[in-house]
Structure 1
């Protein structure tokens, strides 16, 4: 999703740009990629010969490694004269980008987390950066499409919603399970119960990987299979609050100052949610999502919105576009 957001904005800003994706043909998102794509039989990180061959054929000016790539990929990109951009999304991935054999091959290293999430660099990492005269990885926050008032109003009209009067529920891609149950179904059931009990509009996004038939919408409950990032961001920005998983979307909600109740749906999310909770930016679910928790979110939304005023509102997209500007001059 992040790479698609960037590609879409690059095409808008520089219409003459030629954009290609290298994707695993078996990945569920491969068929939906709207840009020219080169399909391979495994994840690109595992295919050195295939990916390098495609780079040699296309001869790109920039190669973006979105939390992916091996040293041989970076080396080949530099050998053919390309600039390299690397995204890391957590401490372990950032550390990989700071290894000596990769550090000298990366032109721009962006960490797609707010600064308050990430620990400081170690003394050894700082020494390596100084030794090679390289800039430290830059924490740019989540990357997302900028909200548009015009598009937001169109969406409110389309779905019969009122600004700051509805809740939005999103469990991520739709395929995650919590205690053996699909997280998207748990979110849907709680949204349905809450909307019926309190006569409040709710929007549930089931996710592109949701494997079952999408439930039918009702008068107060709008159920969507999946949406693109501009639609999601506009719906999120205009919501009263959100019940959301602990991935990138949580950080987008914080950046947009939307009060959030966060539920972990994968093993990497509890730590991120805990840090956000410790800063007072989110409510969290200790055990299982319940209507009682959603009631508290709805009742305290205005107070939570005030607390979010101090949160980092960075959108990483402008940083990425700025780094690419020289290529398109």
Structure 2
């Protein structure tokens, strides 16, 4: 018999890539629990992303939502035991997944995507709805959601907080040595995917200029991770360590050792950073979901907000770097609302679906 297969279909495109990296972390945790599992990804054919050599990658001309026929054909060809759509997909594709006998999971990371998962037609197809609830101490289903679930006893729902690889002190030490960084007490800046622009300038270049100013004003070593989708020419700097991109596991290690982080406010990046309880400045690095997240996290003291310009980023980062009390307050606020890394628990939930399929 053929080995069971899982297919991940995250949003992917030239801008952000948080959904892909979230799925990649989940896939790695799932394979650690199910070594015999064949794991497949559908990704935009023109996007350069970190790939895991153990997994199978299938290029499609656009994001899954806009590549209806290609996704349906991939489902027919792979015939997976499990399909996870992360913020992407159409009803035609969901029905195709059911026709090949797959268990169907939907991941929502913002209110409109969560609402989609609770539409009647969608609920009739789903086996699992994973809902991001980063920054919510006790997330709960709404009254209408609970009412609707009574009609679909097969459908399970689960909240999760952050999704990130686990910290590894030895790996962090090796990374710091490779990039000429102290093993702790540095500032890391990372926009996320790195593919967005602001007022005609690539976002990573704005953050790189801010990194230079932060170093000048604090004396702290600064490392700038430009992002896998950055396409500019800034690959070196006199005073800032510049890294074009890092595997998600390595980015986690560098975040874990930082005094503070300046990050784009994407759902994956914020969850990854805050789950490690790293004091953070968050900036709108691209995507309509980021400004509301910044306002919410800033209001609740989970992170410090800054706008997308060098001076605002510098002022916010320098003030936070020089104020240990504010750093502790942020860490305590993050801990109090239960932001954590749920990657293993999500993998367990998906494993249970695959076992039901068998």
Aligned residue pairs: how many?
327
Q: Is the 8 A contact 1:241 1:301 kept in 2?
A: no
Q: Is the 8 A contact 2:110 2:289 kept in 1?
A: no
1:295 is the counterpart of 2:318: yes
Alpha-carbon distance between aligned partners in 2 of 1:317 and 1:79, rounded to the nearest angstrom = 29
1:244 is the counterpart of 2:263: yes
Aligned to 2:348: 322
Unaligned runs of 5+ in 1: none
Greater mean deviation of Cα atoms: 68-77 or 273-282: 68-77
Aligned to 1:204: 224
Aligned to 1:192: 212
Alpha-carbon distance between aligned partners in 2 of 1:164 and 1:10, rounded to the nearest angstrom = 30
Shift in CA distance, 311/259, structure 1 to aligned 2, threshold 3 Å? farther
Greater mean deviation of Cα atoms: 47-56 or 187-196: 47-56
Give the TM-score normalised by structure 2: 0.83
| Pairwise CA distance, 1:124 | 2.8
- Residues 30-41 of structure 1 mapped to structure 2, 5 A cutoff: 32=51, 34=53, 35-41=55-61
Aligned to 1:260: 280
| Higher relative contact order structure (alpha carbons within 8 Å, sequence separation ≥ 6) | 2
Aligned to 1:80: 100
Alpha-carbon distance between aligned partners in 2 of 1:203 and 1:182, rounded to the nearest angstrom = 17
Q: Which portions of structure 1, spanning 4 or more consecutive aligned residues, are displaced by more than 4 angstroms?
A: 117-122
Unaligned runs of 5+ in 2: 1-20
CA deviation map 1:10-33 (0-9, x unaligned):
33332221111222323333x856
Q: Is the 8 A contact 1:258 1:305 kept in 2?
A: no
Alpha-carbon distance between aligned partners in 2 of 1:313 and 1:122, rounded to the nearest angstrom = 21
Q: Is the 8 A contact 1:67 1:86 kept in 2?
A: yes
> 266, 284, 304: which one pairs with 2:327?
304
1:10 is the counterpart of 2:30: yes
> 92, 100, 123: which one pairs with 1:103?
123
Shift in CA distance, 6/168, structure 1 to aligned 2, threshold 3 Å? same
CA deviation map 1:238-268 (0-9, x unaligned):
1000111111212222111111111112232
Aligned to 2:189: 169
Alpha-carbon distance between aligned partners in 1 of 2:264 and 2:42, rounded to the nearest angstrom = 28
CA deviation map 1:156-214 (0-9, x unaligned):
22223234310001122112122332211111011112213432101101111111123
Shift in CA distance, 51/207, structure 1 to aligned 2, threshold 3 Å? same
Q: Is the 8 A contact 1:281 1:311 kept in 2?
A: no
> 283, 295, 313: which one pairs with 1:274?
295
Shift in CA distance, 40/303, structure 1 to aligned 2, threshold 3 Å? closer
Alpha-carbon distance between aligned partners in 2 of 1:8 and 1:96, rounded to the nearest angstrom = 27
Q: Is the 8 A contact 2:301 2:329 kept in 1?
A: no
Shift in CA distance, 321/312, structure 1 to aligned 2, threshold 3 Å? same
Shift in CA distance, 196/88, structure 1 to aligned 2, threshold 3 Å? same
Alpha-carbon distance between aligned partners in 1 of 2:91 and 2:137, rounded to the nearest angstrom = 26
Greater mean deviation of Cα atoms: 166-175 or 308-317: 308-317
1:183 is the counterpart of 2:203: yes
Shift in CA distance, 46/59, structure 1 to aligned 2, threshold 3 Å? same
Aligned to 2:9: none
Aligned to 2:4: none
Q: Is the 8 A contact 1:214 1:224 kept in 2?
A: no
Shift in CA distance, 133/17, structure 1 to aligned 2, threshold 3 Å? closer
Q: Is the 8 A contact 2:44 2:60 kept in 1?
A: yes
Alpha-carbon distance between aligned partners in 2 of 1:254 and 1:165, rounded to the nearest angstrom = 17
Q: Is the 8 A contact 2:164 2:272 kept in 1?
A: yes
